[in-house]
């Protein structure tokens, strides 16, 4: 770091993205990207905007918000479009947390929650997951502050039910509950349809995973109009042109191509279940994931050893070093060919 960095930032530990190696070609199962390309309609719609890049995009994302609102059965003023769902989360930390309102989240969850809390110098309450990696609902419900719940959770892939989340909302009517649904399209229950019932609910989703648009950076938030107005207050204070016009158009194309989206989700779910069964036969223990990844450890071979040996064989998975999860690896569900390459390599290793 330079001598100019302010002292308040010296201890900040940034989020660490998954490896993006360039020295060789890998079977890349470490960053939860889709194995499928974007919808042809999304590509075609995005290409139309390339000739207009001299013009700023619509800061209100009006046409895209209209399409998203129609698709999800909400009102346009209940939607915010952002540069990836991480930006919705960042706005939420800025809008709904302060020194008297800490951020509350589990100890094993999406790493950006801690980063955002530290970036804004916010107090945080970190609640341990239970022994089986499920969320401790009573502890979460009773903790004071703004709740951040990844559902399904990452990196475990374990979901909460809509009924369980609604119980948290009912018990906490006077504080914001943020439900991060980045992986919800792979088998978990969404709570978007509860935003009219609970004015303290904010739901975030992304086009990165199920809609094959990780490289476009497009996310969205759903909440009552008041919460969305709060988020837009932050957005217009930071970056009103946060979604570029090519991404905006591609997003509209993706929403139009619902059949393509649904078929890809079904294929990934099917491959996840097939791979899970194959891994269990090889001596792996897995969490009951409802995401586009598996979280697995082997009965005899250590997590880091598996990660390093897979990398030697040209297969990348995500390894975490936290004490409770260091024996696990997170494995993105790729194409059928990629999953076969993974299984072949693992058979040689274990």
Q: What SS3 class is residue 188?
A: coil
Rounded Cα distance, 227 and 197, in Å: 13
* Predicted confidence (pLDDT) at residue 278 exceeds the cutoff of 90: yes
Read off the pTM: 0.96
What's the whole-number average pLDDT of the chain?
A: 96
Q: What SS3 class is residue 301?
A: coil
Query: 241 falls in which pLDDT band (50, 70, 90)?
Result: very high
Query: 25 falls in which pLDDT band (50, 70, 90)?
Result: confident
* Predicted confidence (pLDDT) at residue 24 exceeds the cutoff of 90: no
The pLDDT > 90 percentage for the chain reads 93
Q: What's the CA angle centered on 203, arms 64 and 33, to 5 degrees?
A: 70
* Predicted confidence (pLDDT) at residue 22 exceeds the cutoff of 80: no
Rounded Cα distance, 78 and 196, in Å: 9
Rounded Cα distance, 310 and 26, in Å: 10
Say how many residues make up the chain: 350
Identify the pLDDT of residue 196: 98
Range in 18-22, 68-72, 233-237, 278-282 the model is least confident about: 18-22
Rounded Cα distance, 289 and 134, in Å: 11
* Predicted confidence (pLDDT) at residue 23 exceeds the cutoff of 80: no
Give me the residue label for tokens 């269990």.
280
The mean per-residue pLDDT over the stretch 8-19 comes to 84
* CB-based contacts of 117, cutoff 8 Å, min separation 6: 93, 97, 102, 103, 123, 124
Rounded Cα distance, 213 and 20, in Å: 16
Give me the residue label for tokens 């139309």.
48
Alpha helices in the chain (DSSP H): 7-10, 40-48, 62-72, 85-96, 112-119, 137-142, 162-171, 225-238, 245-256, 258-281, 303-312, 336-349
Q: pLDDT tens digits for 244-274?
A: 999 999 999 999 999 999 999 999 999 999 9
Give the HSE-up count for residue 119: Cα atoms under 13 Å, Cβ half-sphere.
14
Identify the pLDDT of residue 170: 96
* Predicted confidence (pLDDT) at residue 20 exceeds the cutoff of 90: no
Identify the pLDDT of residue 87: 98
The mean per-residue pLDDT over the stretch 65-86 comes to 98
Q: What SS3 class is residue 131?
A: coil
Identify the pLDDT of residue 8: 84
Identify the pLDDT of residue 111: 94
The mean per-residue pLDDT over the stretch 170-184 comes to 97
């Amino acid at each position: 770091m330079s001598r100019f960095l302010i002292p308040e930032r010296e201890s900040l530990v940034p989020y660490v993205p998954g490896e993006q190696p360039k020295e060789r070609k890998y079977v890349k199962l470490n960053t939860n990207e889709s194995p499928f390309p974007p919808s042809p309609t999304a590509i075609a719609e995005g290409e139309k905007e390339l000739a207009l890049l001299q013009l700023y995009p619509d800061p209100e994302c009006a046409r895209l918000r209209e399409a998203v609102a129609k698709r999800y059965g909400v009102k346009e003023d209940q939607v915010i479009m952002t540069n990836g769902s991480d930006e919705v989360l960042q706005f939420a930390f800025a809008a709904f947390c302060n020194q008297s309102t800490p951020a509350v989240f589990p100890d094993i969850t999406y790493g950006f929650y801690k980063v955002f809390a530290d970036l804004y110098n916010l107090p945080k309450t970190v609640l341990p997951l239970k022994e089986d990696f499920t969320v401790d609902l009573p502890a979460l419900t009773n903790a004071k502050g703004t709740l951040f719940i990844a559902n399904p959770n990452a990196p475990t892939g374990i979901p909460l039910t809509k009924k369980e989340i609604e119980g948290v909302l009912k018990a906490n009517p006077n504080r914001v509950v943020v439900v991060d649904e980045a992986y919800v399209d792979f088998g978990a229950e969404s709570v978007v349809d509860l935003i009219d019932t609970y004015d303290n609910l904010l739901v975030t989703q992304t086009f990165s995973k199920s809609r094959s648009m990780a490289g476009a950076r497009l996310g969205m938030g759903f909440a009552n109009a008041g919460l969305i107005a709060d988020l837009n207050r932050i957005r217009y204070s930071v970056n009103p042109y946060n979604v570029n016009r090519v991404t905006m158009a591609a997003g509209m194309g993706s929403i139009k191509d619902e059949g393509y989206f649904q078929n890809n989700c079904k294929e990934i779910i099917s491959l996840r279940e097939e791979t899970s069964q194959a891994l269990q036969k090889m001596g792996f223990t897995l969490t009951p994931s409802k995401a586009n990844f598996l979280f697995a450890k082997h009965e005899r071979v250590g997590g880091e050893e598996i990660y390093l040996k897979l990398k030697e064989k040209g297969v990348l998975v995500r390894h975490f070093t936290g004490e409770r999860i260091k024996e696990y690896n997170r494995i993105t569900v790729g194409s059928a060919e990629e999953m076969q390459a993974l299984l072949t390599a693992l058979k040689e290793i274990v």
